[in-house]
Amino acid sequence: MKTTFPGGIHPPYNKELTASKAIVEMPLPKRVRLLLQQHIGAPCKPLVKKGDVVTVGQKIADSDAFVSAPIIASVGGEVAAVDAEGIEIVTDPEHSRFTGQAPKYDTPEDIRQIIREAGIVGMGGAAFPTHVKLSPPEGKEVHTLIINGAECEPYLSTDHRVMVEQGEELIEGIKILLRACGAQKAIIGIEKNKPDAIENLSRLCRDEENIRVEAVPVVYPQGGERQLIKSLTGREVPVGGLPLDLGIVVQNVATAVAVHQAVNLGRPLIDRVVTVSGRGVAEPANVRVRLGTPIRDLIEFCGGMRDDAVKVVNGGPMMGKAVASLDDPVTKGTSGILVLTEAEVRIYEERTCIRCARCVDACPMRLMPNYLALYSRKSMYNDAEQIHLFNCIECGCCSFVCPARIPIVHYIQKAKHEINSKRRKK
Ligand code: SF4
Ligand code: SF4
């Protein structure tokens, strides 16, 4: 058993609904809506207006900020609307098949620029612009690239299927990422519940001296950057620091495949694989879908909702967010769309904290979730910050184990949001 991190939980994984299902491609949607902010960082500004005709792969929005990533037309067609939040395109199927050319490159900076122009961000859910992560600041050197194939969120199996079905492309992507960030070696970390992915990538890496596969224990949140680093290297990212402080860069498996496609094939980020699952959808599946596709169309493609469906979640059940409208689009960070039944959704009445400390034991960041919840709920933000509110990775382990059913992570998120908006106003 490898070294692992403190805390963690074992929720019901429910991966059997889709884990063995090969990726299927969804037909082109009639229209797409591409949000101007699909990433961490500055939102983009539109480069097109209503009535313009765009081709698939064309950059349609961008920003001057370093921490940002452009928006690429995922289909060809006519721009039907441009508003403060996004750009809508009516699909022209004749002009939606991408036929690009591999760009030329020489230096790591060239590679980072291609990755940026392709609109690539972290596809594991966090959506941090990839070119930024690959640019160590002056004086910092990267020695290790970690490829995150843990996929610890229940239900999700997109990374799993990508590792089984697109292993060659993944290895090519890793080679490019190694060049781009200057690391000497790469480690692919995969949870042990994906033996076929471990087997496939181990076989493909057999002759690669500087890329190896490591199986890691199945424990949520193994796929958290800090947790995976601890499991694979035994080292801890300092409080308030970044993996770069340890000379490590972490990238998700789907991101590495997107990097291969952009740099070796000239294909920008126009689609992604999404796990559509939960007992509230008729035919759970792993679907390759164009970015901007309405969630409603994606669910329809999977046979539609069952009568007992009560909630739709964008992402996994631990860290995902409830979908407000089925017209919301798939974004670069959408790893899953879950349609859940009442039996799968925990709806409980909150009770009083009994000071059992189970949340403290479960916290992978060694925080005191009980006090974070208390201070956050009472708007005692200074006290909450004193006990490291902002170190919380919002994994939800605390809420999951709490016998009093206190939605701890919800209080924490609310406090962070309020503090951040107060700071922005100042
Ligand atoms: S949500 Fe935050 S406080 Fe709760 S267990 Fe995860 S890191 Fe700890
Ligand atoms: S797990 Fe819940 S009841 Fe127990 S100490 Fe934490 S907040 Fe209180």
Instruction: Report which of 405, 395, 386 is spatially closest to residue 362, judged by C-alpha positions.
Output: 395
Instruction: Report which of 333, 140, 150 is spatially closest to residue 248, judged by C-alpha positions.
Output: 140
Give the Cα separation of 132 and 70 in Å (integer).
13
The CB of 368 under 6 Å from ligand 2? The reply is no
Give the Cα separation of 43 and 67 in Å (integer).
9
Nearest atom of ligand 1 to the alpha carbon of 7 = 5
Instruction: Report which of 32, 30, 13 is spatially closest to residue 272, judged by C-alpha positions.
Output: 32
Residue keyed to tokens 């395109």: 89
**pTM to 2 decimal places:** 0.95
For domain 15-21+106-265, give the fold: Rossmann fold (3.40.50)
CA atoms within 13 A on the CB side of 207: 1
- Helices 167-181 and 195-204 cross at an angle (nearest 10°) of 60
CATH number of 271-344: 3.10.20.600
CA–centroid distance for 12 within its chain: 20
Which conformational region is residue 303 in: left (phi greater than 0), alpha (psi within -120 to 50 degrees), or beta? left
Give the Cα separation of 114 and 111 in Å (integer).
5
The CB of 415 under 6 Å from ligand 1? The reply is no
Cβ atoms 340, 317 nearer than 8 A: yes
**330-341 as b/e, with b when 16 or more CB fall inside 10 Å?**
bbbbbbbbbbbb
Residue keyed to tokens 């009442």: 342
Assigned CATH class of 28-95: mainly beta
The CB of 313 under 6 Å from ligand 1? The reply is no
What pLDDT sits at residue 310? Answer: 95
Taking the centre of ligand 1 as the mean of its atom positions, its distance from the CA of residue 7, in whole angstroms, is 10
The CB of 363 under 6 Å from ligand 1? The reply is yes
- Helices 108-117 and 167-181 cross at an angle (nearest 10°) of 120
Shortest-distance Cα residue to atom 4 of ligand 1: 398
- Helices 369-377 and 408-425 cross at an angle (nearest 10°) of 50
Counting as low any pLDDT under 50, the low residues of the chain are: 1
* Nearest ligand for residue 412 CA: 1
Shortest-distance Cα residue to atom 3 of ligand 2: 353
What pLDDT sits at residue 1? Answer: 45
Tokens of 330: 């798939």
Tokens of 385: 């910050």
Taking the centre of ligand 2 as the mean of its atom positions, its distance from the CA of residue 398, in whole angstroms, is 8
Q: Amino acid identity, residue 355?
A: R
Give the Cα separation of 314 and 325 in Å (integer).
11
Domain ranges in the chain are: 15-21+106-265, 28-95, 271-344, 358-425
Give the Cα separation of 154 and 158 in Å (integer).
12
What pLDDT sits at residue 3? Answer: 58
Cβ atoms 334, 314 nearer than 8 A: yes
Cβ atoms 289, 272 nearer than 8 A: yes
Residue keyed to tokens 């963690």: 8
Nearest atom of ligand 1 to the alpha carbon of 393 = 7
* Nearest ligand for residue 373 CA: 2
| Size (the chain), residues | 426
Taking the centre of ligand 2 as the mean of its atom positions, its distance from the CA of residue 408, in whole angstroms, is 9
The CB of 190 under 6 Å from ligand 1? The reply is no
The CB of 356 under 6 Å from ligand 2? The reply is yes
Shortest-distance Cα residue to atom 6 of ligand 1: 395
Shortest-distance Cα residue to atom 7 of ligand 2: 370
**Please, what's the largest Cα pairwise distance for the chain?**
62
* Nearest ligand for residue 9 CA: 1
Shortest-distance Cα residue to atom 1 of ligand 2: 402
What pLDDT sits at residue 2? Answer: 52
Nearest atom of ligand 2 to the alpha carbon of 398 = 1
* Nearest ligand for residue 224 CA: 1
Cβ atoms 283, 121 nearer than 8 A: no
Cβ atoms 111, 105 nearer than 8 A: yes
What pLDDT sits at residue 171? Answer: 98
